[in-house]
Amino acid sequence: MLSLIASTISILAAAVTEGEGLKAIGAGLGYGLAAIGPGVGIGIVVGAAIDAMTRQPESAGTARTTMFLGIAFTEALALIGFVVFILLLP
């Protein structure tokens, strides 16, 4: 994880020195903003699933199935943000 952060910083530093800093900053901001929405969404989905499992433990399997699909659908937004990040990155 640290090497990933270091490589990202070095890429951004190289982009800044080559005069494409704003593009790199925009890409990073875009990815960060695109990850906020799915983060909030996953929190809501998992919170609701835990609530359902606690209230009705006998239907925990149903809640977990629905939760997994909800998480996967929400993650699609983050993947779209990632693709935009790769497209914008100089």
80 in contact with other proteins (CB under 8 A): yes
**C-beta of residue 24 within 8 angstroms of C-beta of residue 78:** no
**C-beta of residue 64 within 8 angstroms of C-beta of residue 49:** yes
Closer residue to other proteins, CB minimum distance, 21 or 28: 28
Closest CA to 76 of 37, 45, 43: 37
37 in contact with other proteins (CB under 8 A): no
The site for other proteins (CB under 8 A) is made up of 1, 4, 7-8, 11, 35, 38-39, 42-43, 46-47, 49-50, 53-54, 57-58, 60-62, 64-69, 71-73, 75-76, 78-80, 82-83, 85-87, 89
